[in-house]
Chains A and B, each alone.
Chain A
Amino acid sequence: MPKPHDMGGLPNNEAIEQSDHQLMDWEMRMDALHQVLGQKGIRKTDEMRRAMEGLKPDLYKSLSYYERWTAALEILVVEKGILTSEEIDRKVVQLDQGRR
Chain B
Amino acid sequence: MAQSNKYRPGDQVRVRVDSPSGHYRTPTYIQGKTGLVVASCGRFRNPESLAHGGSGLPEQPLYRVEFTQRSVWDRYQGPSGDKILVDIYEHWLDPVAFRR
Interface residues of A (CB under 8 A from B): 1-2, 6, 8-9, 44-47, 49-50, 53
Picked from A1, A8, A9, A47, the residue with its CB within 8 Å of the CB of B51 is A47
Question: Could you give 20 example pairs across A and B, Cβ below 8 Å?
Answer: A2-B28, A6-B27, A8-B29, A8-B30, A9-B28, A9-B29, A9-B72, A44-B50, A45-B50, A46-B47, A46-B48, A46-B50, A47-B51, A49-B23, A49-B47, A49-B51, A50-B22, A50-B23, A50-B51, A53-B23
Residues of B within 8 A of A6 (CB): 27-28
Interface residues of B (CB under 8 A from A): 19, 22-23, 27-30, 47-48, 50-53, 56, 72-73
Picked from A8, A45, A50, the residue with its CB within 8 Å of the CB of B27 is A8
Residues of A within 8 A of B19 (CB): 1-2
Chain A residue nearest to B50 (CB atoms) is A46
Q: Taking A2-B28, A8-B29 as contacts, is the C-beta distance between A46 and B73 under 8 angstroms?
A: no
Report yes or no: B73 in contact with A9, Cβ–Cβ below 8 A.
yes
Q: Which 9 A-B pairs have the closest CB atoms?
A: A50-B51, A50-B23, A46-B51, A46-B50, A9-B29, A8-B29, A46-B47, A2-B28, A8-B27
For the complex, give the distance between the alpha carbons of A8 and B84 in Å.
Answer: 13
Other than A44-B53, A50-B23, give 5 A-B pairs with Cβ distance below 8 A: A6-B28, A8-B30, A46-B23, A46-B56, A47-B52
Report yes or no: B28 in contact with A47, Cβ–Cβ below 8 A.
no
Report yes or no: B28 in contact with A8, Cβ–Cβ below 8 A.
yes
Q: How far is the CB of B97 from chain A (nearest CB, A)?
A: 26
For the complex, give the distance between the alpha carbons of A45 and B25 in Å.
Answer: 12
Residues of A within 8 A of B73 (CB): 9
Chain A residue nearest to B23 (CB atoms) is A50
Chain A residue nearest to B49 (CB atoms) is A46
Q: How far is the CB of B87 from chain A (nearest CB, A)?
A: 14
Report yes or no: B29 in contact with A50, Cβ–Cβ below 8 A.
no
